[in-house]
Amino acid sequence: MLRQTVRVGMVIMEEKHLIDFLFISEDELKSYSDSFESRARDRFVAFVKELFELGSSDEYRTMFHSDKVVINKRNRRLLDYIEVTAMIDRVEVISLNQEVTQKLIEIIKKDKGFEQVEYDAANSKVTIPLPPMTMNQMLELSNAVIAKEKQIEKNMFAVKAQTGQQIRKGLENEYIDQIDAAKVSKEIDEIIAHYSHFAKLFSIAKREMVMGNFKPKTPEDAELYEQIGPARDVLLGKTMEKPAPEPEPEDMTMVE
């Protein structure tokens, strides 16, 4: 079941965008294992969300909060027509209304002070390149990524310990037998291995995005680095679908 929804900037990331990274068992999991996978999945999705947001600035995510545009002689909130995603190196704005897009670009250049604006008409996307980070900023973000990777690993084993306590109580009360308990233990180890593997991929992908490159220090890192493509696409927002056009807002101030 797809459960968790994450708002990034003003764009919605759903668990379905991570479907290729979620644990799927060929056989039906035992109830203890299924419960563990659900909690492990929630932590993994939250981890990816944090990496996605890491480095994006609130000032860019909310930069159009008070802006209005005149559409059909009425003042409209600009945010009613656009979706904004703030990333490390750029801000991407999706606008499905051509009239709004023209006014958006004017606002970005005249009011926000950005001289360079890129417009991709085929994808209804306006891109604002951001100034490069300093080396200290990049190192700080890279270290934050490593810390988050270590934290999700700790979280996984904390959940495993909690599940272990539940299994022991189940054995004492004869809710589960030794054979099934052994199977649950094996399934949990497989789930942890799965999410730990993909957490490392996302960690390496994010660090490469932050630093501009990644130099593997171990054979394992070198092997993982060759597999980061799909994780990088998620962190770059490439798995996010365009928003559907919304109905035109009403009851706004008439402009003479």
Question: What pLDDT was estimated at residue 126?
Answer: 96
Whole-model pTM above 0.85?
A: no
Conformational region of residue 199, where left means phi above 0, alpha means psi within -120 to 50, and beta covers everything else: alpha
Residues 61 and 137: their CA atoms lie apart, in Å, by: 19
Name every residue whose Cβ is closer than 8 Å to that of residue 145 and which is 6 or more positions away in sequence: 51, 54, 203, 206, 207, 210
Query: Residues of 68-84 as b/e, b for ≥16 C-beta within 10 angstroms?
Result: bbebeebebebebbbbb
Q: Where are the domains of the chain?
A: 13-55+134-235
Q: What is the pLDDT of residue 5?
A: 37
List of long-range contacts for 248-255, beta carbons under 8 Å, 24+ apart:
248/71, 248/72, 249/76, 249/77, 249/80, 252/74, 252/75, 252/76, 253/74, 253/75, 254/73, 254/74, 255/70, 255/73, 255/74, 255/75
Write down the pLDDT at residue 175: 87
pLDDT along the chain (256 residues), means of 10: 38 77 92 94 94 77 87 90 87 92 94 92 92 88 94 95 93 90 94 97 95 93 96 86 48 47
Give CA–CA dist 117/64, Å, rounded.
15
How far apart are alpha carbons 155 and 152 in whole angstroms? Answer: 5
Q: Which CATH superfamily is 13-55+134-235 part of? A: Ribosome-recycling factor (1.10.132.20)
Residue 127 near residue 90, CB atoms below 8 Å: yes
